[in-house]
Each structure stands twice: as C-alpha cells, then as structure tokens.
Structure 1
Amino acid sequence: MTPELRAKLLAGLKDGSIVPYLGPGVLADVKNVATGALIPADSDSLIIAMNDGKPMAPKLMYEFPRAAMNVELKRGRTSVTKFLNRTYGETKWTRAAFHDWLQAISPAYVIDINRDTQLQASYAAIPHNLIVGIARIAGTAFRYKIFAWDGSAYQRAETIDVSKPVLFKPMGTPLPEGDYIASDADYVDFITELMGGFSIPPEVKELRKGKQYLLMGMRLNRDTERMVMADMIYSAAEPVGWVFIAEPTAKEKRYCKKIGLEIIDADIFEFIGAAVAA
C-alpha cells in the first residue's frame, strides 16, 4: 500500500465518504479473559465452538449457516440463539486493537457483520443509531430493528436520526436483544428481503448513495457473505472501494474485478499500526 492510498483511506473514513465494512478478521486478537482462547468469529471457529469444541461433519463444516441449520433442525432455533448469546453476550473478551483504532476515528456509518458487541462499546459515549438484522419474524415485511442509544441505554425507534452515527449489524448482536441471522433459513429470508429492499431502513438507503467502502477482516470466497455485501453496498460510487485480502485467491480476484473492489494485498493490522500476537 502506498502512503498516498493510506492517507486517502484514512481521510475518507474520517469524512464519511468511505464506509468501513467489518468482517471476522478484525477480531483476530480478541481472547477470552478467563481462558485465553480466541473469540470464535470466523465460520470454522464458530462451528467448532457451537459443537462443544469439536469439528462437525465435513459437509457441515463448509459454512456456519449450514451447521447452524443442522443444530436448529435437531434442537430448535433457540439452541443457536442461546449459543450466540452465551458466546457474545455473556462471555468476557479482551478489547480488539482494531476497535480501539476505529473508536479514535468514530466513522459516521459502519457496517459490521460480526455478532459481538465491541463496535457498540466503541460508541458507548456517543448517542447513536443501531440497526440489527432479523429474520423469520411474522407480522412484518421488514427485516431489521432500529434502536437509539442515548448514552446510557437503547430504546426501540421507528426512524433513524442521520445526524448521529449509524451502526448497522445485519447479522445481529446480543445487545439490547439477542437477534441473529445465523442458519441457512435465516439467511434465505434475510437476503430475499434484502434484495427486495426490506432489510435496510429508508434513511440508510439515502445515506449510502455514492459512498465507497473499505472491507476489512473478511475474505470474499463465500457466496453467502458476498450476496449480503453486494446488496448492503448498493448505490455505491464507482469504483466501489477497497478490500484487504492477504494472498487473494483467483476466485476473489475475479469477483473483486467484477464488482469494482480494489484488492489491497496486505494485513489490516499493518494498516492500523497494531501488532497481533500469533
């Protein structure tokens, strides 16, 4: 990465023209306070954690939504929700270096496909909007909930105050309520409504027009995550933006070229100036 590109990305994040889009890699240094174990954030680690520390059958290890669907069919949807609440809402984790860095910038709009609460903690001192993805909810076509943080608590809201930061967690969070997009059935419902325009609030549809995106901590070799991302960044500028992918695959290169993402073959922790212990 050139110094010029680094300066451009930092300036765009600060002025709001570039939107950070966060994947599991931003949590690479986060550990369980009690045990020192790494936080389960990517697909494989989530599956193993959900299965009491053991891998599942190869066909289920392919992707977390598939494994979560298997658990849901066997033990009910609440089993997956309880696992995610326990993992992200009840377990104490160390602070991510990335989130300390992002907190210093406090972008006006952030998309975070992780299910942990560190992004919300970064904005705890700032009144903000929180959008949480939901799925398979009867009585409404919309696939999101809106909350307003007043500096001390979240309250349900019907609209978004775009003068305050907007945190979009499409895959869910335990706070203030444990809502998640996790199983195959959740993703099918959420993506279907996302493509129809019902998974994104109207204020965000307007806010996102002409933005560029910086994808950090995620690979682009899974169709599910790519489908969510493609619709989340609809109405982006041209070119769409950049993605940090160390040693990208041929598939990732083709996809990024197709949609207008420039690959930065580097580690995000180099970009933020933080060292991460192996």
Structure 2
Amino acid sequence: MENIKEKLQDGSLVPFIGMGVFKNTTSKDGATLPHDSDSMILALNNGRAMSERLMYEYSRAAMSLEQRKGREYIIQMTNHIYASKEYDIPFAYEFFKDIKPKYMIDTNVDDSSCKIYEDVEHFMITGVSRITADYDRFLIYKFDPSTKEYTRIDKEELNDSLPILFKPMGCMIPEMNFIISDADFVDWLTEAMGGYALPPFLKDYKKDKSYMFLGVDFSRDTFRMVAHEITLGLDTGIIVTDKDELTKKENKFVDTHNLEIVKDECDNFLKSL
C-alpha cells in the first residue's frame, strides 16, 4: 500500500488500534502495561493467573471476576490499571500525533489516543453496554482544546468537519465506560448486529475505506466479530503482525476482508514509514 500517510490524513485509510501497541510500553515505575489477553487478565486479577478455562480470553476472566466481586469492581479495576500508572504513550500513538488521522478506531480503553488530538477540536465516540435507556451502544463527545474538556453531544451533530476518534470498547474519560466482560461484549455485539453500535453518520462514512490493523489479535472470536461489525463495507486493508503463523480463523478473516498481511513488529513498521 502506497502513500500511507496521505491516506491516513484524508481519511481513506483508517488506523484500527489494538492492545498489542503496548508491547514495548512500561510505566515510570518499571511495571508492564497489558499488551495481550494474558497480561490483561493478570492486571485485572492482581497479578495472579486464573484457571486455564478463564485464561482463554480476558473477557471470560473479567466475567468470572464480575460475578464474584461485582460490576463496580471490574470498572474500577480496569480504570486502576491505567490511572494508577504514569507512562509515556506507546510509539504508535506518538506516530499518529503528527498525522492526526481524519478517522481513527482505538479498541484500547485508556486515554492514549485522546492525546493524539489534545490540541485540536475533535469528536470522540465511546462504546457503552448493558444500558436500558435505549438501544444505542455509544456516546458522542466534542472536545474543546481551549478548555481541555469533552462535552456530550447528540448523535445528529456528528459529521466529518473534525477528526473522529472512535473508541468502541469505551474509555476511562470523560466517563468510565468499558466493554470488558463477556456480558459487555455479548450486549454490544448484539446491538451492533442490529445497527445500534455506530452513530448514523458513521454507518455511511465508514464504507469503502481501507483499514490498517495494528496490535490487534484476531486469534479469538471476540475481536474478529468486533472488527467485522465496525468495518462492514470496507474496501481493502493491511494487518501488521509479528506472528510467524496465523491460525486458520485468522487467515479466513484476512481473506474474507481482503487484507494484506505485513509481517513486521508494529513499531518497526511505523518507523519504516
């Protein structure tokens, strides 16, 4: 794929960021930050491994913890993982800070991607789950760089006059909303399939775009389903991975979605651009 930076700026190529971009990130006190499912489980469970069945995927482990300790525990623990640590944002986010993509998808729940746009007006969409007020599984905010504050806006106000940051799995700011446990993902995906996980404007805006998947692990069903729903109507794309071999399901996702595989470590790939 040629002219990647130009395509990111004009919105025809959309970055899709996963937990893997944290692979080389440590906090100022030397602690590692979650960069895959296993490390996320350890972070949620105070550094302790869980049973093999629960270690399969962090959403399953989070569901078990939620059932034992309550929903509020999972919300506070997820926030604590990032809020309690001082760390420089991963290189991927630093890379995009200069480019400020017109449209960006970030499945991480911390505020690193917010810092890409911290000096410009932008829209941010965050995912929510298990709410009874209506079917929509998103909240929309507009950021004012003069006050450094996000203000909730109505879904009809979203447009492409400003950069759009989409955080489908939620964010720790301005409100703590996380898609983290099995029940969250089931609810979000159910409503996504019904068309309620994306604002109306985004449903058309996202069509015929190419996507650049960075740090996303498609070896588990959950994130393949999330990515499928968010990128429906895509044109092409690339998936950057340092895995030697992809699983059968990963290869099927790549083929079905017309993706090109780039065998490289995420930071190395971005530095080469």
Shorter-chain TM-score tier: over 0.9
Runs of 4+ aligned structure 1 residues displaced above 4 Å come to none
- Unmatched 5+ stretches in structure 2: none
Q: Please give the residue correspondences for 1:104-115 in structure 2 after superposition, counting only pairs within 5 Å.
A: 104-115=98-109
Moved more, 188-197 or 211-220: 211-220
Give the CA RMSD over aligned residues: 1.3
Given candidates 231, 240, 245, the residue that maps to 1:248 is: 245
Which AA in structure 2 matches 1:25? Answer: G
Determine the structure 2 residue equivalent to 1:222: 220
Of the three residues 150, 155, 161, the one matched with 1:154 is: 150
Correspondence for 1:23: 18
Matched, 1:194 2:192: yes
Three-state SS of the structure 1 residue aligned to 2:135 is coil
Cα distance, 1:55 vs. partner? 0.6
Is the 8 Å Cα contact of residues 248 and 265 (structure 1) preserved in structure 2? Answer: no
Q: How far apart are residue 37 of structure 1 and its match?
A: 1.2
Counterpart selection for 1:231 from 206, 224, 229 = 229
Normalised to the residue count of structure 2, the TM-score between the two structures is 0.94
Q: 1:272 aligns with which of 256, 261, 270?
A: 270
- Alignment of 1:101 with 2:95, yes or no, is yes
Range moving further from structure 2, 90-99 or 150-159 = 90-99
Asked whether the 8 Å contact 1:209–1:236 carries over to 2, the reply is yes
Residue aligned with 1:263, SS: strand
Q: Residue 159 of structure 2: SS of its match in structure 1?
A: coil
Structure-2 residue corresponding to 1:83: 77
Q: How many residue pairs align between the two structures?
A: 266
Work out the percentage of aligned pairs sharing the same amino acid.
35
Could you state the TM-score of these two structures normalised by the residue count of structure 1? 0.92
The answer on whether the counterparts of 2:14 and 2:209 sit within 8 Å (CA) in structure 1 is yes
Partner of 2:65: 71
Shift of 1:127: 0.6
Aligned mates of 1:191, 1:37 — CA distance in 2: 33
Residue 10 of structure 1 is matched in structure 2 by 5
- What code does the residue aligned with 2:151 have? Q
Q: Structure 1 pair 197/143, CA: closer, same or farther in 2 (3 Å)?
A: same
2:234 and 2:257 in contact (8 A); partners too: no
Partners of 1:264 and 1:141 lie apart in 2 by 37
Q: Quote the Cα distance in structure 1 between the aligned partners of 2:131 and 2:83.
A: 22
The whole-number CA distance in structure 1 between the counterparts of 2:160 and 2:252 is 35
Say if 2:61 is the partner of 1:58. no
